[in-house]
Amino acid sequence: MSHGQFPYIRGRRLRASAAIRDMVAEHDLKPADFIAPVFVMGGENEKVEIPSMPDYYRYTLDLLLEEVGELQEVGIRSVVIFAKVPDELKDNKGTEALNPDGLMQRAVRAIKEEYPEMLVMTDIAMDPYSSYGHDGIVEDGEILNDESVEVLSKMAVSHAKAGADMVAPSDMMDGRIGAMREALDEEGFEHTGIMAYSAKYASSYYGPFRDALDSAPGFGDKKTYQMDPANVKEAIKEAKLDEQEGADIVMVKPGLPYMDVIRAVKENVSVPVSVYNVSGEYAMLKAAAEKGWLNEEEAMMEALVGFKRAGADLIATYFAKAASKILNKN
C-alpha cells in the first residue's frame, strides 16, 4: 500500500484535541475584527429595542456613550453610527444631513471626546434624511445620480469636521467615492478614510434595519442603484472602481448569501475587504434560536468565522459584542 494513503495518512490526528485544533486552525476571530453598528436617536435617558432585532437597541446619545464604553471594554475597536431622524426633518435633498449640530454630528463629537481611541465610522446615505426613503434626490420618480453625489460629498465633509475617522458611503451612486475623496482632501481631511459599500445588493435582508431607522423607500425599490443578486462580476467591477477612486476599504453587503462574492472581491482588490452581516441575517438566527432550532452562540460563531474564511478582513455585525465576550473567555 502506498504511504500516501490511509492508514498512513489520518486526517483525524489533527482534530484529536482542542490544543491541536487551535494550533492548526486556518482562520480565527478577534474582537478587533468587528465593526459594531450603533443606532442613535433624539431625546435623553432612553433606549428602545428594535422589534425585529431582539436584544438590539436604539439609544439616546447619553446612553449610547455607555454602550460604546461597553463595546470598548470587550475589545471592539470600531463603531459605525446610524442616526434615526424625525420625519419633520426629512426632505428630498437631505438638508438635515448637513446640519453641523445634527444628531449624527453630535454623536460623532461625543464619542470621540469620551472614547478617543475608538475608531468612529459614519453612514453616508440620504435615505435616513429623505422624505422619499431613497438614497438620492428624487425627480419625476428617478433617483438623480450626480446631484445626489454632490450632497453625499458634503455630508462626508460634515462628518469629518465633527471628528469621524472614516466615512462609510452606503448609497451606491456612481462616482461617489472619487467625489468624496476629492471633497475631503480639498477641506484638509486627507487622513479621513473611506469604507465604500462597493457591492451592496438589492436584498430582502434589510427589513429589520429599515425598521430601526424608519427608512424604507416610500415608493418603488432600490434596484436601479443597488446590485442584482445574480451578479458576481459586477461586484468585482464596482470594488475595483472604488479602489481606484480612493476607497481604503471595500465592503460586500449582505454577508451570508454572498460568501462567493466576498471571495471574488478579495481576490481582485489590494485593499481590506469588509462584510456586513446584516439585520435580516441577525434576525433569522435570533428567531431560530428563540424557537430552539439552533444553538445561538454556536451558529453565531460559525457564521462569523465563515466570513473570515471567505476572505473578509473586517465584519460589521450586530453580534459584535456577544461574539467578543465569547472570544474573551477562550
Q: Mind telling me the catalytic residues? A: 200, 253
Taking the C-alpha atoms of residue 173 and residue 122, their distance in angstroms, rounded to an integer, is: 17
Side chain identity, residue 134: H
**Nearest Cα residue to 149 out of 163, 161, 137, 162:** 137
**Nearest Cα residue to 78 out of 330, 320, 326:** 320
Look up cell 468585482; give the residue: 236
Taking the C-alpha atoms of residue 262 and residue 30, their distance in angstroms, rounded to an integer, is: 19
Side chain identity, residue 84: K
Look up cell 442616526; give the residue: 83
**Nearest Cα residue to 314 out of 232, 260, 228, 248:** 248
Q: What angle do CA 296, 71, 60 make, to 5 degrees?
A: 100
CA atoms 242, 243, 247, 252: torsion sign: positive
Cα–Cα distances in Å, from 283 out to 17, 56, 214, 257, 286?
A: 34, 10, 17, 14, 5
Q: What cell does 304 get?
A: 462569523
CA atoms 113, 40, 76, 161: torsion sign: negative
